Structure 1
Amino acid sequence: MKKLLTLATGLSVATAAVMLQPTQAQALPAAPATCVYLREISTGQRAVRQIIALNNSNANTDFAVPTGRSFSSYVAKLIPENNSRYTAEVNLKYNDGSSSRAVSRTIEARRFYLYNQPFRPPTNRQPFQINTRITGSRNTAYQVFVLACP
């Protein structure tokens, strides 16, 4: 009888551990037909998972805006992995070295809830890069991605 209980307990612990581990390969919500998900500049990934480090030293994630297409609106999407307070900023970088802030907000986030933040460039200029800066409590995690639409 003891072996059966040990085995059952071991299975439930193993199952719980698997269910709590977020995966990088989670499916993104479908993009509207004319929109595209931007790719992070260093990894080429569409969705980027970050764990907030001490002093928010890894808070910035940069997404490349494809050339040859014009986009007039964007949607930054955030999926927090913890119930926590996050501060989200979105900055647009232009090819002349200038930048502009499109979003700055604090979110009292619920775990695994999808937060959408639509925005437009504050100028009529096309950015070449979208920077997301997400800060919060140490060791909290989130996924971020950006959708661009004409």
Structure 2
Amino acid sequence: MTEMTGGCMCGAKRFTVDLPEGNNAYLCHCRMCQQASGNVSLAMVGVDQAAVRWDGEPDWYRSSPIAERPFCATCGTSLGFRFLEGSDKMDLTVAAFDDPSGFVPKSHFGAESMHRAWLNTEGLPEQRTDEYAALQERWAKVGGAPAS
């Protein structure tokens, strides 16, 4: 087991989770996840509900008659998904982890809604935030720095 932490952008909703080795990370392309995240897919990792400890109970949105999604009502961060009954599992959003770099997707779900043009972006032009002058100037005006 590996203990990992994460939470929302504003820090009001935090979690700690014990993850087994070889975690179950995947990309969900279903329309509900697309709408909940405002994106073409949502990177998720399956966990045992009992392994998740919340520091700042998340807000919950009942996204359908069978499921609900934890989120932060203050900053809007999507934190996951779980069925209302009949499962001891849930999913947490990969990007909500403090260090998501170790997750590698193992599968796709909701393939009927997949936007394949967004799957392989290899070879597209890349730009680093620290090399984008207009962004750096805006941060300098407010005496801050972008999140890394």
TM-score (norm 2): 0.22
Higher helix share: 2
| RCO higher in structure (CA 8 A, sep ≥6) | 1
